[in-house]
Structure 1
Amino acid sequence: MDKIKITVVTVVYNASGIIEDTINNVTNQTYENIEYIVVDGGSTDGTQEIIKKYEGKISSWKSEPDKGIYDAMNKGILLATGDYVYFLNVGDKFYSDMTLENMINQSQYEDVIFGDTCVKDVEGDRIVKAYPLYLDWKTMPYCHQSVLIKRTFLINNLFDLSYKIAADYNQYHGLKKSLATFKPINEIICAYDTNGFSAQNAKVMLREYSVISLRNNSGFLRKLKIKLYFLLRMNLRNI
């Protein structure tokens, strides 16, 4: 039987200094059936010229203005033809050349396959373990850089552009409501650089997480717990 197809989507805008490393990181994967799509937001810094240089290794690409990263990621979903979709946005890297192969080998082709993340920030590298699903009232179990999701589920759960930072958390709850099956695996999936994530972004993220969690949970005591949890987190950040 042929290996199932995985669509890898890279979203990029004006990143000529790092897009080549991202492309090479994807094309070095040992998995044999990858569709690679690049969605560029209309770069003007030479990014498009680098993409054209690698057209022989890229399945398809498009360049046009968008409404932000989640809009670009939605475009990638709609262009994809693979059984699963994975987002490796510019600047991020697969943790190893065998990452996609290991993800599939550790699964039973569940709808959502996710693992751990190597987070890079000002303090250095640290491994962030995937969270248990029962804690999804306060956080997303996985980073969107560390998950394979079946395209058929994503088509019906596109990113909601009304959220600036937490559209992936909102999407997770949509997948859950769609009765998707989830499979955590013991694998570091992605090296993810958070050095550009500001305190202002944290403020927006916590507020959006709180709104999403409250909407997707019921019961007075549970909602009170959620409100207090996010209020405490925001106070600890002095925001």
Structure 2
Amino acid sequence: MPTVSIITITYNAERFLERTIQSIVAQQETDFEYIVIDGGSKDGTIDIIKRYETHITNWISEPDKGLYEAMNKGLHRAKGQYVWFMNAGDELYDSTTLSKLLDQISATKADVYYSDALFVRDEGGETVPVGLRSQVTPHVLPQQLTWQDMSLGMKVCHQAFVPKRSIAPDYLTNNLSADLDWEIRCLKAAQTIEFLPFILCRYLMGGLSVQQHRKSLMDRFKVLVTHFGLLTTIRNHIQILIRASRFNMR
């Protein structure tokens, strides 16, 4: 059983997939498996996967019903003690990232590990740093995270969140904020949650929730109502609006 299962979800992402795979190939550790779930791409995605096939533990390419069904496929295939999603376009922060994570797992064996994420944008095929998520968004990253901290939205970038597979539930498949729901459920199930003092990932801005922003906000509201109740969520959304306005003014 590998310690970590790294899972990449991709669909028609030939522009971005190779950088993700290369960031994983560059790691200095072997105690992990790498799974790629493709949604039946029609571009050059499969050619890229086959080019790196010796570095991929297993992969599949078939139509699915969307991002979160594909992520569930990855979860069900994973055999590692921990699961870590690094989707097409995202990257492990540098070649020492996995070594640092494995060292920490060996030392403390927490149920969930998390860190900050470096936001990047794509400019002509090259990634340009934008800044740490905790600095370029209103989401302050607590160093003693609990599930209640998610009442004002997603505190931790999904690619900087590594839970034990044994506490990781399936994703909702009909909600664009399913990653928020998933993190909350993982945190509720966790006994030990540990902040990592190093960056885990480079997160490519402009994903599905950005492309469908209005629906994503509505779905986030539904998730927060599920976990915190209607009245609390309404009150918190007033705080979210005030916080966003102050942040934008700065």
TM-score normalised per structure 2: 0.82
Question: Is residue 2:132 matched to residue 1:127?
Answer: yes
1:63 shift after superposition: 0.5
User: Does structure 1 retain, via aligned residues, the 8 Å contact 2:112–2:187?
Assistant: no
Aligned residue for 1:114?
Answer: 114
Structure showing the higher helix proportion among its residues? 2
Match of 1:162 among 174, 180, 198: 174
Match of 2:199 among 181, 188, 199: 188
- Work out the CA distance in 2 between the residues paired with 1:87 and 1:26: 12
- Work out the CA distance in 1 between the residues paired with 2:61 and 2:7: 13
1:200 shift after superposition: 5.7
Number of residue pairs the alignment of both structures matches: 231
- Work out the CA distance in 1 between the residues paired with 2:38 and 2:208: 21
Question: Is residue 2:86 matched to residue 1:88?
Answer: yes
Gaps of at least 5 residues in structure 2 are: 123-127, 135-139
Amino acid of the residue matched to residue 53 of structure 2? E
> Structure 1 residues 226 and 84 mapped into 2: Cα distance closer, same or farther (>3 Å)?
same
Aligned residue for 1:146?
Answer: 160
1:178 shift after superposition: 2.2
CA deviation map 1:11-51 (0-9, x unaligned):
11112233222212111111221101111110111211221
- Work out the CA distance in 2 between the residues paired with 1:162 and 1:41: 16
Aligned residue for 1:15?
Answer: 13
> Structure 1 residues 202 and 59 mapped into 2: Cα distance closer, same or farther (>3 Å)?
same
Aligned residue for 1:58?
Answer: 56
> Structure 1 residues 125 and 168 mapped into 2: Cα distance closer, same or farther (>3 Å)?
same
CA deviation map 1:65-115 (0-9, x unaligned):
011111111100100111111111111111111112212323411111010
> Structure 1 residues 90 and 199 mapped into 2: Cα distance closer, same or farther (>3 Å)?
closer
TM-score normalised per structure 1: 0.85
> Structure 1 residues 125 and 110 mapped into 2: Cα distance closer, same or farther (>3 Å)?
same
Aligned residue for 1:174?
Answer: 185
Gaps of at least 5 residues in structure 1 are: none
1:227 shift after superposition: 3.9
- Work out the CA distance in 2 between the residues paired with 1:23 and 1:77: 18
- Work out the CA distance in 1 between the residues paired with 2:236 and 2:207: 27
Q: How does 1:23-34 map to 2 (within 5 A)?
A: 23-34=21-32
Match of 1:210 among 221, 224, 228: 221
CA RMSD of aligned residues (A): 2.7
* Residues 16-25 or 76-85, more deviating: 16-25
1:225 shift after superposition: 2.1
Amino acid of the residue matched to residue 159 of structure 1? Y
- Work out the CA distance in 2 between the residues paired with 1:172 and 1:191: 19
1:230 shift after superposition: 4.5
Amino acid of the residue matched to residue 182 of structure 1? I
CA deviation map 1:164-197 (0-9, x unaligned):
2x10111122123324431111111111111456
Question: Is residue 2:95 matched to residue 1:97?
Answer: yes
User: Does structure 2 retain, via aligned residues, the 8 Å contact 1:103–1:187?
Assistant: no
